[in-house]
């Protein structure tokens, strides 16, 4: 699949896959100087790029496992969603879950982008829903007893 990318800053790095079968392409910080994210704080990290995703696809922005494990940095919204009609700059809202300030440097990989198809539902109001074995059992209701 081809996805059009526009560099909004000459320093921007085009997303890249780390291996042949990687599901997520790395997103890179496009900043002029280091950004320090204090403990339990959030910073918006620009990538310097905009995308043109095909209709019927969304870009999902996930944490990079290494960054989350080593520095405690992960997207504040857990998974960011880039809609196919969005043409603005892709930014990553990074939250510092650690107890110490963490630094993000220019060109650092800050998240990963997974492009995936989606279905748009037509919500139909009804008075009754079909019965299932689970019924209305909520959180933890399907675990072993």
Closest of 145, 5, 11, 36 to residue 101, by C-alpha: 36
Question: What would the CATH number be for the domain defined by 4-117?
Answer: 2.70.40.10
Token reading at 3: 């996805």
First-to-final CA distance of the chain: 46
Contacts 24+ apart (CB under 8 A), 60-63: 60/113, 60/114, 60/115, 60/116, 61/27, 61/90, 61/92, 61/111, 61/112, 61/113, 62/24, 62/111, 62/112, 62/113, 62/114, 63/111, 63/112
The pLDDT value recorded for residue 26 is: 98
Is residue 116 within 8 A of residue 61, CB to CB? The reply is no
The pLDDT value recorded for residue 144 is: 63
The pLDDT value recorded for residue 138 is: 83
Q: What is the mean pLDDT of each run of 10 residues along the chain (145 residues)?
A: 97 97 98 98 98 98 95 96 98 98 98 97 96 85 68
Per the document, the length of the chain is 145
CA 110 – CA 74 distance, rounded (Å): 8
The pLDDT value recorded for residue 73 is: 97
Tell me the whole-structure pTM to 2 decimals.
Answer: 0.90
Identify the bridge partners of residue 103 per DSSP, sorted by sequence position.
36
3-state secondary structure 3-40: CEEEECCCCCCCCEECCCCCCCEEEECCCCCCEEECCC
The pLDDT value recorded for residue 111 is: 98
């Amino acid at each position: 699949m081809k996805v059009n990318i526009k560099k909004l800053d000459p320093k921007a790095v085009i997303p890249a896959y780390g291996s042949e079968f990687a599901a997520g392409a790395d997103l890179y910080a496009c900043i002029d100087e280091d950004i320090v994210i204090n403990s339990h704080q959030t910073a918006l990290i620009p990538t310097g790029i905009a995308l043109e995703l095909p209709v019927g696809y969304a870009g999902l922005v996930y944490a990079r496992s290494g960054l989350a494990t080593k520095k405690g940095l992960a997207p504040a919204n857990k998974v960011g969603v880039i809609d196919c009609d969005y043409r603005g700059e892709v930014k990553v809202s990074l939250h510092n879950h650690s107890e110490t300030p963490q630094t993000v440097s220019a060109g650092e990989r800050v998240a990963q982008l997974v492009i995936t198809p989606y279905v748009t539902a037509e919500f139909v109001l009804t008075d009754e829903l079909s019965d299932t074995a689970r019924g209305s059992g909520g959180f933890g209701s399907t675990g072993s007893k």
